[in-house]
Amino acid sequence: MTKIADLLAAGQTYSFEFFPPKNDAELATLARTISELQPLNPSFVSVTYRGGAASRQRTFDLVSGMLHTTSLNPMAHLICVAHSRLELAEILVTLRKAGVENLMALGGDPPADPDAGPGELAYATELVELARAIGGFSIGVAAHPAGHPRSPDARSDRDFLAAKLEVADFGITQFFFEVSEYEGLRADLEARGVRTPVLPGILPVTSLASMGRLGTMGAPAPEWMQARLRAAHEAGGSDAVRSEGVRLATELCADLLTLGVPGLHFYTFNTSSATREIYAALGLGPSLAATG
Active site amino acids: 17
Concatenated DSSP letters of 24-35: HHHHHHHHHHHH
Residue 24's contacts (CB-CB under 8 Å, 6 or more residues apart) are none
Burial of residue 244 (CB within 10 Å: 0-12, 13-18, 19+) is buried
Residue 110's contacts (CB-CB under 8 Å, 6 or more residues apart) are 81, 118
DSSP secondary structure letter of residue 38:
G
In total, the chain counts a number of residues equal to 292
b/e for 189-217, b at 16 or more Cβ within 10 A?
beeeebebbbbbbbbbbbeeebbeebeee
Angle between helices 273-282 and 223-259 (to 10 degrees): 50
User: To 5 degrees, how large is the angle CA 266–CA 268–CA 274?
Assistant: 90
Strand pairing of 74-79 and 138-143? unpaired
Q: Up-side HSE of residue 90: CA atoms within 13 Å toward CB?
A: 8
- Phi and psi at residue 84, in whole multiples of 5°? -80, 165
Taking residue 279's Cβ as centre, other Cβ atoms within 10 Å add up to 23
* Identity at 18, one-letter amino acid code: F
